[in-house]
Each structure stands twice: as C-alpha cells, then as structure tokens.
Structure 1
Amino acid sequence: MLETKLEELCSLEYDINKELEIAELHQGKKRKREVENWLRNVQRKKIEVYAIVQELRDSGLFRHLKLTVQVKKLTGQVTDLVESGRFRKGLVGCAQESRGYPLLTTKLAGAMFQKNVGKIWDWLVNDGVLIIGVYGMGGVGKTSMLMHMHNMLLTRVTNFDSVFWVTLSQSFSNHKLQCDLAKIVGLDISKESDERKRAAMLSWTLMRRKRCVLFLDDVWNHFPLEKVGIPVRAEGLKLVFTSRSLDVCRRMNCQNSVKVEPLSKEEAWSLFIDNLGQHTTLSPEATKVARSVAKECAGLPLAIITMARSMRGVEEICEWRHALEELRNTDIRLEEMEMEVLHVLKFSYEHLNDKMVQQCFLCCALYPEDFEIDREVLIESFVDEGLVNGMKSLQAMFDEGHTILNKLENSCLLEKVENYVGGNKCIGLQDSSSYIAISMMKRGQCVASIDNVGSQVVKMHDLVRAMAINIIKVKYHFLVKAGLQLTEIPDEVEWTEDLEKVSLMCNWIHEIPTHISPKCPKLRTLILKHNESLTRIADSFFAHMSALQVLDLSFTDIEILPKSVSDLNTLTALLLTSCKRLKHMPSLAKLQALLRLDLSFTAITEIPQGMEMLVNLKWLNLYAKDLVSTGKEIAKLTRLQFLILHWWSRKIKVKVEHVSCLRKLEILAANLHDMHHFNAYVKIMHEYGPRSYLLQLDTEESLGKPPWCFFAEDCFSKDVIISNCKIRTGETPLMLPLDIQRLKVERCHDIRSLCDVLSLKNATSLKRCEIADCDGQEYLFSLSCSSSCCTSLHNLESVELYSLKNLHILCKENETVAQTFPPGGAFACLKMKSTTSCVAKMTANKVCWID
C-alpha cells in the first residue's frame, strides 16, 4: 500500500515539475510558494519512505511487526501529500504576476566579468544592499552583464517574486519612465496627468509585489526615485542600474558600485575568435595580423564583436593587413565601427553638457596614444588655453581644473592610472612648468582639494581618444600627430590657413628648415615638446602665426630661440623647460600679453632682454643654474603669482625691494641676498607674503651643493634653508617666518643647539628639522637658557642629524646633567634620524629612532 501511494506521489511530482518548467522558462511565470513548499515536503517524505521500505526488507518478523504502525502513519502522510498536490488554483501566478522573459545576450567574456557578476549576485541576496550601480565607458559590456544578472534571477530559485527590465533613452523624463514601468507591471496610468499621483499608483503596485528587482539600463542623470514611484526598501524592491558615470552612482545613493573594465589582451582575443566564427580559417601569418586587429579594439567588447563580425569569412592575409592599416592610420574610419562604437562613446562626450569641459576633454587628445599624463600638467594646459579662469588665484585655478578632470574620470572619458610609479610613457611633473609649485601646493594646501583628487596620473582609453580625434576632424581645425615617430615636420600643405591647434609632441623631428613657413593666421596653440632631437628652428617658421597664444618647445635640443618669436605679441604662454642647450633668447619686450614664461632647466646665463616689460606675467620659472641676476628685473612684474628662482645658485641673490612689491605672490622660491634682506622680507610676509615658499639664506658666494636631500621625501611648502651663516655670534639675530613648517641648518658652525635660533620660540608650526655639518653643535636643545624653544615645538615630528661631530646629548638642562626631553607632551610624536658621524650619548623619552 505504501509503495503504491509513493509511486502515485512520484508521478504527480514529475507532472508538476514538467508543467513548472514550461511555465517558468517559456512563459516567464513564477511558481507559487505553496508549490515550492510542497515539492520540498515531497523530497523529505520520499527519503523517509525509502528508508523504512529498506528496513522492512532487511528486518525479521518481530521487527517487521513493530514497524507496521509507522508504515500506516507514513501511508497516511503520503496520501495527504497526493491530495494537497492537486493545486486546483494553479501552480504559477497569473500572467500579470509574470517575472518576465529571459533577455537575449552574448556570452560573458573575461574573468573580471565573471567576478563582477558574482559580486553583484552577492549584493542582490544581501538584504542590506538596496541600490547597486554598474558603471563604465560606452561599449565595455555593462548592459550585457546586467542582462545575465536579469536572466539568472529568472531561471534560478530565489526569494524574488518579480524581475523587471527598463531601458532608458537619451530623451529621459520621469513621465516616460513611469509609463514604461506601468506597462510592465500591468498598471494603466494613461488617464492620470498628475506626476505625484502616478508615482503613488506605481509605488503601491510595486510594493504589492513584495520582493522584486528593477533593472534600469543606461541611466545618464540622477533622479529622485520617489518622484517616479520606485519604492526601494528592505524586504521589497531592489534597484540595479548601469551608467557611464560614477557621479550618477553616487547621486543615486548606491550602497555598492562596480566599474566594468575593458578585457585583457587574451580575453579580447578569445572573444574576437568566438565572433569571427568557426568557418573562418586563418593561416599562422593571418592569425598574427588578426591578433593585432583585435588589440586595436582596446578591450571593448562592443568594438571586438563589431570588428570580428565584419571580418567573418575573410581569410586572405592582404585583407587582414588592410583592415589593420585602416584601424591604425585612420582612427577607426571603418563605417561599421564608427556607427557601432564611436557613436556609443560619443554619447558620453555630448552628455557632458558643458562646452568648457568638452574642450578640456579634447585637449587630452593632443597627447599621444596610451600616454599617462599628470593631472597638474593637464590643468596647466587648460589654463594656458583659457579653459580655466586665469584671473583666479592658483588655488582656485587648480581646484577648478581638478573638478573638470574628476568629471571626465567619473564619466569614464579619462582613466585613473592606479599605483603609478613613473615611467617613460608618462608626461609627469617633470614636464610641468610648476614642478616645484605643485609640490609646494600639495604640502602647503594651496590647492585645498589636491590631496583628495585620487590618482595624480590619468590616461585616455584608445577608443575614447579615437572618438575625440574623430570629433576634432569633423568639428575643429586641429592637426594632431603626437607620438607617431615623425622625423620631419609635416609638409606645408598640411598647414592649412584654418588650423587652430597643432600637436607634434613626442616625435623625433630633427629640424624645421627655412622653406617651411606655414601661413596659419588662426593658429592659437603649437606643441612641439618632447622632440628631443630637434636642434634648429628656422626663423621664418613663426613668421605667419600672428594669432599664436601657446608655444611649447619644452624638452627639445634647441640652442637658439628664433628671433621671430619676438613678434608673437598675442603669445600668452612660452614654455621652454628642459631645453638644456638653450642659451640665446631674443627680446621679449613685445610679448606683453605673456602670462606664463618657463625657462627652467635651460642654459641661459642672463635674464632675457625686455623681460621687465612683461607686466601681465603671472607665472615665471627661472630655475636655471647658470643664470646670473640681482633679481631687480622682476620688481616690475607686480602681477606675479608664481616665482621660482634657482634658490641654491649663489649667482642669483634677491634683495627685499625686488620681491616686496610682488604682493600677489602665492608661491616663491628664492635665495635672499643677506641676513638683512632675509629678515626684512620675513617681516612683511605675514601681511602679503606667499602661501608657500622656499627661502634660502647663504652668505657664501661660490656655488654650493644643492640642498635637494632636504626634499627627498616630501617637496617643500613653507621651508627655510640657512647655510654658512653666523646665527649665534652675528650682528643681527635670524628671524624665521611664523608659519615655517620645515627648517634646514647646514654649515653654521657657531650654533651649539637649536635654541640659539631665537625665533624658533615662535615657530609653533614647525614639523621637520634637519641639521648638517654644524661643527659647533653640542646638543640639540637646551633647557637652561631663557630662550629655550622646547615648549614651543609641540608639532615637531622629525629631526634629522648629519655629520655633527661634536654632538653629545640631545637635551641639556645645565652644564653637568644630561636629561631626557621635558614632560608635558613635548616631542611626543618626534622621530629621530642620525648618521654614525654624530657621536651618541643620546637619551630620549617618547622618541622613535630611525637609523
């Protein structure tokens, strides 16, 4: 009897599972919970029956009689299950309760895609995560990934009752989204004109569904969920969406977001082969070219699939080579690729909705493909191009620049370079006219947000750059041939009269001959930097560039700057950093529109003629070791915000009257003439001095050893270097700035301790001190004198001692007793570093030694 009933139950279970399979997979419906519970109970009961049947077969007569009661009980339970399994009201929800249909999608490619799918699934089943954002550049596979998630929810047994999918359009509106949602949940809101009432109707309908997931594809702007009627809540509705922008994810209040990255090289090749088809047979030579074609798609699944399908059936190597040549040399002008891929990427550009930010984005395309560019270099170029307001303070300019770059990063139009450690593919800080300035600002907070901008190096994805070049060709008059290994300047025929910008950076151009004299009356920007073999530029080259504003010849090998540059009276930026052989400069008197002049790391020996006429100049970098000047030439440049002189060159010694009139200075690095001029400038600094500075005082005339070791770890912000001075026995006591943060004292042989620097009593912001080669130094601090600075230096974090051959104790109380540091928290965070040339009888309390 029991076995007969069990057989009936198993037949019923089989029929129900078959019916469920048809309803769920083909009709998109969902089994009722009572059906799911019944099936679980059947499984448990089958196990019990099989166990007792086996026991009956193996037991003797006595045991058989004892099991009779249990068999009778099980037979009744199985009979009840058969009766309850009739489900006269049906196995699944009605059509209105449908979970949806599986979406047609491509196979997921790449280990990272699989990892992201697993990550999103974990978030979906986590009750604490209600809103999930998936972002990345166009064509990278965001939609495909979410389609897989959608289908997984439909085909797997989960706690979700409903799964919905809505694709948003470029012409997004709350009303349209409400209508799309109403349609998929079977709600008629066509007669309701009030947005709030429509939202209430939708919210109530969705809450009745209890647990459900809503997928929104292609969200371009954030919007208030409650205004649409999307009731995201625990034990209710979860929202998962795709976007091009991290900023949208943040504004939509995502608890978790994931960025979809391009495929690796091997993953891209695997996807390419899958879409090329099995009927395309390639020779080893053609396969090698095909791999290069796949590589040009730069890891974007959309580009890879489009390109592979366009090459189906192509087996001749000549056709593959032709396709590769087109991809490399015409910036993806294949009709299919342009329509399918560049069109997708272009949406992100157009959606910036800010012409200034769009222009900044196009500026990034002036750099070579795959180049890693320091953010500050880009911001400087934005300022030079007039895209960032140059009338602001340096802090405000860099804040605006970083804000623009953050927008481009968050829109996936620029990529952060994580864990950047330097390399020859990066145009980095050494390329920047403000290498020193940026360092100062980072430490001195001239740029308030600079420590929070994330990665300091960015790059453009190859296809994003191709899209930018495509836009430039259609809408603008630019000539971009950066990083193409050119050895000659482009022919004059390419220098059309309507050209506005030319970038020839990072090539191997040797010279610009006399017969090249482009007639480009509208040319505003000319970038020739990093042509390190460029030794000569003909004087005639600039003759017909009357509108030129930005001229960048940095990192070239020129010795003479052409005289025709003198007549470029519209020039606002003249950049010559690291032209290491440059000695001869023409007169600059006519360049009165000039805002930025960079002569750092050049071989000039004198201030260029006419520089005093550059009354609008704001940025001036004269960090040139052979330059001889008294500094008086800069006194008339009253609009300067940024001034760097070669501070360790004794050939440039600045007097207070030459810099005291520069009241807009925000950054200064200079060597003051003597103690009198040093103290006089320090006195006026608290009123209108620079935010960041490096001031050096050195009484010796000969060129000394550069104090770069002082900045090996952190570049300067509010720093002072005192060298070869009489501090204790001199006629005038040394005065230090009140806000000094770092101090270096070297070769000052008359000081016995730091307390001999009397103004240190007021240096409450001092964080770091370095003392080197001071033969008279016997102890570090003294408590016995009234001028002891110990109690003032509560922010002191680091003291470094080098070659102090007479140093015996750290802190001296009187002539006979060596004492530990004073109590009360002084030096609580101090770290010490010394060399073996410092004689050690040193004791310290709460001090960390670094040897």
Structure 2
Amino acid sequence: MMELSGAILEIVKIIWAPIGKCVKYHRSLEEKMMILHKKLEVVNSRKEDIESRMDVELRSGKQVKKEVKLWLENVQKMNGEVETIDQEVEEGKFVSRARLGKLVIKKILEVDELHQKGSFMDRLVVDGLEGDKMMLPTTVIVGDTTGRNMEAIWACLMDDDVRKVGVHGIGGVGKTTIMKHIYNRLLVDTSKFDNVIWVTVPKTTDVIQLQGKIAHAFELSLSENESETIRAANLHAMLRMRKRYVLILDDMWEEFDLEDIGIPEPTRDNECKLVLTTRLSDVCVRMGCKKIKVQLLSEKETWNLFLEKVGRDLVTPDIETIAKDIAKECGRLPLAIITIARSMKGVVDHCEWRNALEELRVSTSGINDMGKVHEQLKFSYIHLQDERPRHCLLYCALYPEDFLIRRKELIEHLIAGGVIEGMKNRCAEFDKGHAMLNKLENACLLKSVADHNNDMKWVKMHDLIRDMTLQITSRSPKFLVEAGVNLRDFPNIEKWEKNLEKVSLMHNYILEVLDLSDTSLEILPDSISGLENLTALLLRGCNRLKYVPSLAKLTALRKLDLSHSGIKEIPQGMEMLVSLKYLNLYACNLEILPAGIFSKLTSLQFLMIYGASKTLKVKGEEVACLRKLETFAGQLYDQNDFNAYSAYFNCPPASYFENLVSLKLIRLCNLSVLLSGGIAASLPSGIFSALKNLSISGCPSIKKLFEVSLLLHLQNLEDLRVYRCYQMEEILEQATRPEYVLGESSNLCTNNDFMTISLPLLRHLSLEFLPKLESIYRGTMVCHSLQVIQVFGCPKLKRIPLSLPLIDGQPSPPPKLERISTSTWEALEWEHPNAKNVLQPLVRSVQTS
C-alpha cells in the first residue's frame, strides 16, 4: 500500500509541476504586466533621450550608427508586441492567461536586455560616406567653353585606352563644378561603370587621413592602430575585389604613389578609372594621367555671365563701358565674374562703378595669377555694405576646408562671439543670422546646401574664398586656424601670438588638452580659468573629460556647451557667468545640480539638462524666474514644480509665451489637462504665436489634449506628436461655448454641430500607442501643408478627420503629403468615400506585432 501511495505521489508531482507553473503564470499576470510596463517606460525614456541626442549630433556629412538605428527599430517592435499583449489581456480570455503570463515574463527579460543594449556612451553618429549615392548639389554649367571642357572629360572616361585622367586649371575656373556634373551623370548612366566615388583630398596630403576617406567612401573600415603600410595593404586587398568603378580625387596639390595609399592601378582588367582635379599641371604628369586643361571663358561668355549676375536692366549705356572693363578684370574666371558681378548688383551711380574699376586695377597690379584671384574675391568681401556679414564670412573660415557648416550652429557662434547682439530675443537673433547668411549667399561668397526636404540647411565656402579669408585673418583680425588637418598635438608655440582673437582646432585628434568640441581630451588646464575675454567655451562630445576648472573669472562667457562630455559635476564659479546666454548640460555622467545656481544666470536664453537622470532635477520657480529663457529641456521635480513653472498660464506676461517655439511635456504622471476649460478662449492674442513643435509623451492621466479654441493661438504649429498617453481619448475637444471661439479672423468655422478647423502650417502629425484614443477631432480638419501622418498603437481610432482638396468633385491628396504610416490602414475611415483609393499610394503599412 505504501509503495502504491508513493508511486501515486510521484505521478501527482510530475503532473502538478507544469500545472503549478501555469497557475503561477495565471495568478501573477496583472502584477507582471505592471512590471513590464514600468520597464518598457524606462526603455522608451531612453529612446526619447537618444532621439534628442540624435537631433543635436546629426548634421550634414553625419549618419546614425547602424547599431543605434537597429536598437531604435527593436524598441519600436517591442512596443508593438507589448501592445498586442495588452489587447489580449483586455479581452480577458481565461484559458489564455497562463500562456500570456509566461510570455510577459519572457518580454520582461527581453526589455531588460534591450535597456542594457541602449547604453550608448559614445557618439550616436558616424561620418557619412563621401561616396554615398546621392546627387551632388551643383550650379548650372556656364558657357559653351565649359560644356566643351566637360565633354572632353566624358570622352576620356568612355575611352578604354585612357585609365587615368588629370583635370587641371587655375583656381576658380570650374574644375570641381564640372566634375560634380560628371559624377551625377555617372550615377544615372551605369552602362560602363557600376560605381562612382568622390573624395576631396586634404590640402597637405596626410596618408592616414586620405586612406580613411577612401575607405569610408567605399564603405570599408581600416584599423586606426596600424601603420600606413599595413593600412595600404589592407585597403589594396579590399579594393582589388571591386570592379568597374570611377574614383574621383578632387583638389590634389601633390602627387603620390597609388600603392602607398592602397589604391589599385586602374587597368583594362578591373575596368576602373581614376580622375583627379588639380591646379598644377605637373601633378597630372607625375601621376601618369592624360591631361585635360579646363579653358577660361571667352570674352563674350565673360560679358554675358557678368550681365546675367549683375542684372541686364541695370547696366545703362553710360555704365556699360566701365562694366565691360570690370568684367575683363575678372580674368575670364567664372568664380571671380560671379562674385564681383553680385557685389555690383544694385549699384546705379557711374562714379561708384569707376571707383570699383580703379580699386580692382590697383589691387591686382603686379601680382601673379592666383594673387589676382584672391584680390578679386577680396573686392567682393570689401564691398559688403555691413561690417557684420564680413565678420560672419571670417567665422566660416574657422571650419575645416570643404566643410558643410550647419546654419544653426554657425549662428550660435555668431551670437556667442558678439557679431549678432542687441536684438530683443533669441528668435530675433536667429532671424538676423539667417538674413546675414542669405546676403553672403546672394553675393556668391557662400554656397547654400539643403537636404531633399529643405528641413536641414548648411552653408559651404569655396576653397578659394576660404583662402582669401585666411589671408585676411593672417593680419587683422588675427586667427589661428588649424581645423581638420589631423593634428595630434597642439600647434607649435610660435603660432600662439599675443594678438590672436580666435583659435580653431576643431575636428582634430589632439589627445590631452584642447578647448574645442569632438576631441578625446582628458584634461583641461587650469590656465583656462584666466581667459577673461573668452565668449564661448565649447566642449561638446569630449566624453573623456571629467573635470572643468573654475569659470568664475570668465564673466564675458556667452556660450558654454558641455553636452556629451564626461563631467561629473558642474564647474565652480558658474554663478558668476552673468553674460551666459547658452548653457548645455546634456551630460549623462553629471551627478548633481547645486540649488539656486540657475536663477543667477539672468541672461540665459537656452538651457538644456540631461533628462534621464534620477538626480538632475530643477525647481520650477528657478527656471521660471529666467525671464529671457526661450528654450528649456530638462526634468522638474514633480507636478508642483511644473505648476510653478507654468504659473504664467493664468496670468502670463504676453512676451513670455509669444516667443515659445517648441514645447515638450514628458512623463508628467499627474498631468490631466493642458489648459483647463475656458482659459484657452480668454488668452491674449499672440500667446503661442511662435509655437511650431508640440510633443506630449508618457503622461498617463491626460484624457483630452486641448479644446479647439486653443487653435486660434496655434496658427504656426508645424509638428504635433502625442505618444504613450494611455488614457488619451480625444486630441481636439469641441469647445463647450463655441460662440466665444469664433472671430472675424478665426481659423475655425461652424459646420452643423462641429466646427471645421484649420492648421495651415501643420506638416507632421504623429499619434502612437494611445490605446484608448477614439477621436482626433469630431469635426473636419483642413491641413494643406501636411507631409507625414503616423498612426499606430491606436486600436480604437477609426476615423481620420482630414478634409481632402476636391478637383472636379473628386478628392485628391493634400498637395504636400508624402507618407501615411500606420498599422491599421484597412480599419481607418475618411471623410470622402473615395479617399482611400486616392491615398493608397502614400501608405506605408507598419506591422507592430
């Protein structure tokens, strides 16, 4: 009997083991779901911080690291999977609970792993590939002569007997412009070559640097710890596997052996070709190239180009003879013709024309060809009407050669350096900066570059114009510029003259001591504390830097950027920086912020603090007392501090919110309403008039975003994003008293029970992971500027209230709409029955499970 009972007990144990696990999973499901959501919330907070960092670090020539991109995609996928689990739990099927409990525990472990992998301590971006297959921006080919030059080069590329082509000619004649057109043409015509690569050669040929540029262009990697010879061997081995490519080396100043760099010799067998551009004919000969000289424009082409740029209607008969003489002084060089003609645009007094001719003749008399070119370009610089655009152009010379300079970053420097000052607020300062850059672009002293959406804008200097500005800054004002020349130590001491006004050592590899961004410096010398005239201290991306000496004496400092540095505490003496306008403390290792320090920085316009820390929090009253503050990104202690910060809503000084451009509310657990009923309708005109970006995420208590009446103040809103507000039911709530909303200039109009609303500048609408969202708006929305709609994780949302333009009675997409991203396309309804057919080509279905 005992043996039988023992056997039965063993059988029961065997049977109960899996059943017991199922019961455990069944009972603990709600508890585990809460844990999963909390952990996922932390991961999403990290995702938001990483996306904020990306906004800072991304600029032209940079791209997001593949591991970062993959991590962000995995987070998005995880959000979709958890949303699916939420829906199954909500359905409440008893038999599924055990399976779901087991799945939730698995997801908790995966979320923990995802959080660990998202700890990106280094930069999130890498240098972009110079050979990326995008069309290079270029100008229109000028004159038949230039066209013949280009066709001669193309003929050599098509000729199997020519393997290396050397394009040479005086600076400013158009070599690079012609080759950019050739490059773009090769991207389209792939009949003879599979690949075309563009590399700009450093002026002083540094083998390591050039090897790195070529490897990047071919999407290859080389070890930085190997010698030049080993790197050359590795590069050669990798390139030898490639066939049918054209390698363009732009702006070479000296010859080198291809094998020293690691470039295989172009042959009939590999079907590759090498093209180089240079000012020096001898470089073509020594590199074994077939020479093609880029010819100057004819006199007739010179005059036609000059007339086109100066304005044909402005050259009256009494000016024409002088104008022709000025055109001749340009030496038939396109760059000189364009810049000088633009500098004379709008001049109608023939005395000024005669004076300009005399200045040109005197400045170019008795000097060599390149000296004449510099003087011709300097003429355009001198004839800028205002001193400030001249200073702006000199600032551009602080950047490395051929560098794409982000407009926003450059204007920040101009503000910090005092070139832009005396404006009423930061927005006005940026407007002034953009106006100056536009003036320099119109004068052809800077070139404008933009991405395909025109969202990101840069400027770029022609190398000859940079040479001219460096010539000016070698005398007065005196600059020391060693930017992007692969330095591994400080410049020699004799270069550090007493009358230096500005020093640029950016984009180098100095390892120990440096006072500029994106370097690996570990120590900042105590002598930095004595630089009393310093206006900007930029240590962005110095992740090895742990300590900054006292800044108490740097009372002239206007900009301090410590973002992505390794500092653990803020520098001593910060409270003395009464002139400071820009402070970036987005540093993940920073441990504490001393109380009361920000309230003493009364000139602050921009303040950013690392937001994912548990200790880096600021009192709402301390931020609110900064009356000049226009941009704040950081973490307040709690709801009370947020109330203190936003107390101006009830009795706002109008100017405080008139200049607000971007508002992001993140992880405010007790936020239940953005503006309570009736307040929006009574706000003074002008409030939020500058607001372009509104983002709310991780606010679990808010149910309705705002009343429709607030739209009266949001005429300039461009970007609206709502994420992870799990109680959100409606985005735009109908006003309780519509008669108080409507006015003569209103962007609202009545239509039956609901108003038709207009957001005329809205470009991006994103609604993600709002499980209770049932309505965007119960009326109709007119948004003709809309470019992107993103809706996912909103299972209850069935209707998109977008009014589509009608053509012959049939709907058409909003004119600028590019993409609709959603996981529930089939379930969505639109205002017009034919809307789905019209919008289908723009849909990008996203699977979230």
Return the TM-score normalized by structure 2. Answer: 0.47
Q: Looking at CA atoms only, which structure, 1 or 2, has the larger radius of gyration?
A: 1
Return the TM-score normalized by structure 1. Answer: 0.47
Larger RCO (CA under 8 A, 6+ residues apart): 2
